[in-house]
């Protein structure tokens, strides 16, 4: 399952959850969330020496089918630990060339017993796992459950039927179908939230990867499930205390980067769940008998502050970066690698500064983003502590400053580095998240428009225990029209709709993830509308979904299975499944979109202004919905830049489709020798002379077939035609080992 990042979505799966989402994911929160930064891996200091032979033996016991690998095919990694966790982990990888192709994989081991924690494997040949796969999802589940029995206490695990294996973007036909199943361990028939095993089965039945999260590796204690409050009591408590508020929610169209705003109702209480024994509220920093008092919106500043600069140049940007990023160590050198002038994902003109800290172990780098107009910080992540720690140069901080002092420091840094934005944002509305392991405070300052909080735009600031600045991010979308609030449904009606769709999930939960948290609490977690990506539209009063995990199905006499797979995979973009006509003639633009998405991914975090934004045709600019599709087709040689414009609305013929397909398969040079080909179907004379080779190859490879001994070269292509032809195209590309890289 991919991370849900930069989606601009509202997630209600945690019910009353405030502040447990990654930045860029809108949640029912204006608190101060954990920014979900990746944990810094540290080299383990251990007296125990783990040999490569020992790990290989463990691996072979678990996976006897890899007996064809020799010891020399394996490579041993270095032991490591995660911050706050003294458990030692080891990596073992393997690579072998088989029939001219690379087979590779990776295995992770955990603890003194060297139990296998994770596994990833990419087979040499998995054509039988491409669509249509050898295995159905039901058979794949049986394979996953059979594999689960390899783990100790496997009978205590149950299938998580609510897993949403969301793919952010489109899947491709040139990669194996992967079925992912999640199993959660139970105690007293209650799921233990952080003890799971996720298993992925390829469409041919092979296990391609799994990850095992064992939770606490010690001997934890558990709440007594016989003493839980009834669900009715918990529901009553929620209904008596939960409040809702009107908010703006920003969503983005990943194809164009354009954003739009919805008016929504969301829970505003700063809680995650209810302790099922004590009835206390679960919050970001533990359990509390009291709810946080509802706070009124308080702007950071009441009047706009002057911008930091009014005439900021490239040289100013470099000088500022050198001062901000300088590091107090003779063993580490700061290297400003490049400064790029571009638009960021919010459409702001920025200086993007790439930099690197060079040290004895190599180099560690990231980027700094400054407002091109004012020189103010838009995005900054302080990696100095990580670099110093990696090189054993860090010093232990003293007593951590208080939450109140940390908040004052955050405001001070905002006024120092991003002053002109502050009047549009409010002081934090929710509970401050304090990361105990890293001794870091995380604050979110929500944007306010028309007196309403904006879900999805905020200032994010992280403060270290010594008061230094660790992170500063300004997220301000460029929105011209904000929906009026005069026609929204009332709070009372919204509350009734939430309570109608309220359900509770009982699970065992630890307060934290470090070794000191060795007790599992029973917690009721609210969920609304049984869909974690739904929200209540304040104008219509209806539940809407940011994205659909199931897009409905169509029926068709020739290509039903193929069409439905392409729709579910995000390859065919269907706005309304009920009105979709599979026999409609496709335009060249629509056909290109289907073909390109079948071969290469288009991710949701694309934004205009990113690097490599060339423009091949005058009429298809970077803000055009099909800009990425066209540029990718040009880069792969499918389209030729033979004129200044390209007519996306023109209908596509079978003959033209044959040309595209042969170019994709890199057979154009062979196709140009039309003199060596003889077309034997009845309407061969209708094929243009220069395209004879293309048509002959497309027909001989089974990409485009004949009907009644006719190829019908001038016939216009339908969606059903594309579905039936693009799948054998993908198989042929896979067999040839063609790779269509995303960029």
Amino acid 547: pLDDT: 60
Q: CA distances (Å), 158 to each of 162, 187, 192, in order?
A: 12, 11, 11
Query: Within 13 A of 735's CA, how many CA atoms are on the CB side?
Result: 9
Distance CA 249, CA 167 (A): 22
**Positions in the chain whose pLDDT score sits under 50:** 1-46, 605-612
Task: Report whether 569 contacts 171 (CB < 8 A).
Answer: yes
Q: Are 5 and 24 in contact (CB under 8 A)?
A: yes
Sequence-ordered list of residues with C-beta below 8 angstroms from that of 428, at least 6 positions apart, any chain? 30, 31, 32, 407, 443, 444, 445, 446
Cα 567 from Cα 589, distance rounded (Å)? 17
Instruction: Tell me whether residue 301 is in a domain.
Output: no
Query: Does 671 fall in a domain?
Result: yes
Residue 194 C-beta-side C-alpha neighbours within 13 Å: 17
- The answer to whether 126 touches 735, Cβ cutoff 8 Å, is no
Two tokens, residue 229: 């409050």
Q: Quick count: other Cβ atoms within 10 Å of Cβ 152?
A: 7
Select from 722, 653, 717, 721 the least CA-distant residue to 688: 653
Tell me whether residue 8 is in a domain: no
pLDDT of residue 460: 96
Per-residue model confidence (pLDDT) at position 215: 82
Beta pairing partners, 190: 187
Q: How far apart are CA 52 and CA 690, in angstroms?
A: 59
Please, are residues 662 and 694 in contact by the beta-carbon 8 Å criterion?
A: yes
User: CB-hemisphere CA count at 13 Å for 231?
Assistant: 9
Token couple for 725: 């032809």
Residue 106 lies in a domain: no
Q: What angle do CA 561, 139, 182 make, to 5 degrees?
A: 105
List of residues 6+ apart from 241 with CB closer than 8 A: 269, 291
Is 597 inside a domain boundary? Answer: yes
- Partners of 81 in beta bridges: 42
Q: Are 133 and 171 in contact (CB under 8 A)?
A: no
Q: What does the pLDDT look like over 114-151, one tens digit per residue?
A: 999 999 999 989 999 999 999 999 999 999 999 999 99
Domain residues for 580? 560-735
In a domain, 611, yes or no: yes
263: Cβ–Cβ under 8 A, 6 or more apart, which residues?
Answer: 246, 247, 248, 249, 483, 485, 488, 537, 538, 539
The structure tokens listed for 285 are 């920093």
Instruction: Using alpha carbons, select from 388, 387, 185, 418 the residue that is nearest to residue 309.
Output: 418
User: Is residue 205 one of the residues assigned to a domain?
Assistant: no
Pick the closest to residue 75 from 97, 56, 101 (CA basis). 56
Query: Burial of 720 by CB count in 10 Å (0-12 exposed, 13-18 middle, 19+ buried)?
Result: buried
Phi, then psi, of 310 in degrees rounded to 5: -115, -10
CA triple 635-636-642, angle to 5 deg: 65
What tokens does 563 get? 């069409």
Please indicate, yes or no, if residue 640 is contained in any of the structural domains: yes
Express each pLDDT in 244-298 by its tens digit. Answer: 899 999 887 655 557 789 999 988 877 789 999 999 999 888 888 988 777 789 9
3-state DSSP assignment of residue 253? coil
Classified as helix, coil or strand, 61 is helix
Phi, psi (rounded to 5 degrees) for 6? 55, 35
Domain count, the chain: 1
Contact 367, 408 (CB under 8 A): no
In this predicted structure, what is the pLDDT of residue 61? Answer: 93
């Amino acid at each position: 399952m991919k991370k849900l990042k930069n989606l601009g979505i509202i997630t209600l799966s945690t019910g009353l959850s405030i502040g447990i989402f990654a930045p860029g994911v809108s949640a029912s929160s204006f608190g101060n969330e954990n920014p979900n930064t990746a944990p810094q891996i540290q080299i383990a200091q251990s007296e125990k020496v783990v040999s490569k032979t020992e790990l290989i033996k463990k691996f072979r016991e678990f996976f006897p089918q890899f007996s064809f690998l020799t010891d020399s095919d394996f490579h041993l990694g270095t032991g490591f630990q995660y911050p706050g966790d003294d458990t030692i982990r080891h990596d073992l990888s393997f690579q072998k060339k088989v029939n001219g192709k690379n087979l590779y994989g990776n295995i992770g081991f955990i603890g003194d017993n060297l139990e296998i924690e994770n596994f990833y494997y990419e087979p040499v040949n998995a054509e039988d796992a491409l669509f249509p796969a050898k295995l159905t999802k039901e058979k794949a589940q049986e394979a996953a459950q059979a594999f689960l029995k390899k783990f100790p206490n496997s009978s205590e695990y149950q299938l998580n039927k609510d897993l949403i294996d969301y793919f952010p973007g489109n899947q491709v036909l040139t990669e194996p179908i992967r079925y992912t199943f999640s199993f959660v361990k139970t105690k007293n028939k209650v799921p233990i939230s952080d003890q799971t095993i996720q298993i992925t089965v390829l469409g041919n039945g092979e296990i391609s990867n799994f990850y095992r999260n064992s939770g606490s590796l010690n001997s934890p204690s558990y709440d007594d499930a016989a003493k839980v409050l009834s669900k009715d009591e918990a529901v009553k408590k929620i209904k008596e205390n939960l409040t809702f508020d009107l908010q703006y929610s920003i969503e983005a169209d990943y194809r164009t980067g354009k954003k739009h705003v919805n008016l929504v109702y969301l829970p505003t209480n700063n809680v995650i769940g209810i302790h099922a024994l004590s009835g206390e509220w679960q919050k970001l920093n533990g359990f509390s008998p009291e709810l946080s008092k509802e706070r009124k919106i308080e702007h950071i500043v009441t009047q706009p502050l002057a911008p930091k600069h009014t005439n900021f140049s490239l040289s100013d940007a470099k000088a500022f970066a050198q001062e901000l990023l300088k590091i107090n160590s003779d063993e580490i050198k700061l290297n400003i690698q490049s400064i790029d002038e571009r638009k960021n994902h919010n459409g702001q003109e920025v200086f993007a500064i790439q930099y690197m800290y060079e040290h004895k172990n190599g180099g560690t780098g990231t980027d700094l983003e400054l407002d091109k107009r004012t020189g103010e910080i838009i995005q900054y992540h302080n990696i100095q502590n990580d670099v110093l720690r990696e090189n054993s140069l860090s010093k232990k901080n003293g007593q951590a400053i208080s939450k109140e002092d940390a908040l004052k420091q955050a405001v001070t840094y905002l006024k120092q580095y991003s002053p002109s934005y502050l009047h549009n944002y409010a002081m934090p509305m929710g509970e401050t998240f304090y990361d105990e392991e890293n001794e870091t405070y995380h604050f979110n300052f929500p944007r306010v428009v028309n007196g309403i909080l904006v879900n999805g735009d905020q200032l994010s600031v992280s403060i270290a225990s010594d008061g230094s600045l660790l992170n500063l991010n300004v997220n301000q979308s460029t929105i011209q029209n904000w929906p009026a609030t005069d026609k929204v449904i009332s709070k009372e009606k919204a509350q009734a709709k939430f309570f109608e769709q309220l359900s509770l999930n009982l699970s065992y939960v630890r307060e934290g993830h470090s070794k000191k948290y060795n007790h599992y609490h029973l917690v009721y977690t609210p969920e609304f509308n049984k869909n974690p990506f739904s929200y209540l539209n304040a104008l219509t009063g209806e539940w809407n979904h940011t994205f659909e995990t199931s897009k409905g199905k169509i029926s068709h006499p020739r290509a039903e299975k193929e069409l439905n797979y392409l729709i579910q995979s995000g390859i065919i973009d269907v706005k309304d499944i009920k009105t979709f006509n599979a026999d409609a003639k496709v335009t060249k633009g629509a056909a290109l979109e289907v073909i390109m998405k079948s071969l290469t991914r288009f991710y949701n975090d694309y934004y205009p202004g990113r690097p490599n934004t060339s423009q091949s045709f005058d009429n298809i600019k970077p803000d055009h919905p099909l800009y990425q599709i066209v540029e990718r087709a040009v880069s792969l040689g499918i389209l030729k830049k033979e004129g200044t414009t390209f007519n996306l609305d023109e209908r596509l013929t079978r003959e033209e489709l044959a040309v595209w397909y042969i170019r994709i398969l890199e057979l154009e040079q062979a196709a140009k020798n039309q003199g060596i080909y003889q077309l034997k179907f009845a309407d061969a004379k209708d094929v243009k002379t220069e395209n004879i080779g293309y048509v002959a190859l497309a027909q001989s490879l089974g990409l485009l077939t004949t009907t009644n001994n006719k190829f019908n070269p001038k016939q216009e292509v339908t969606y059903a035609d594309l579905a039936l032809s693009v799948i054998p195209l993908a198989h042929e590309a896979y067999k040839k080992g063609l790779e269509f890289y995303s960029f």
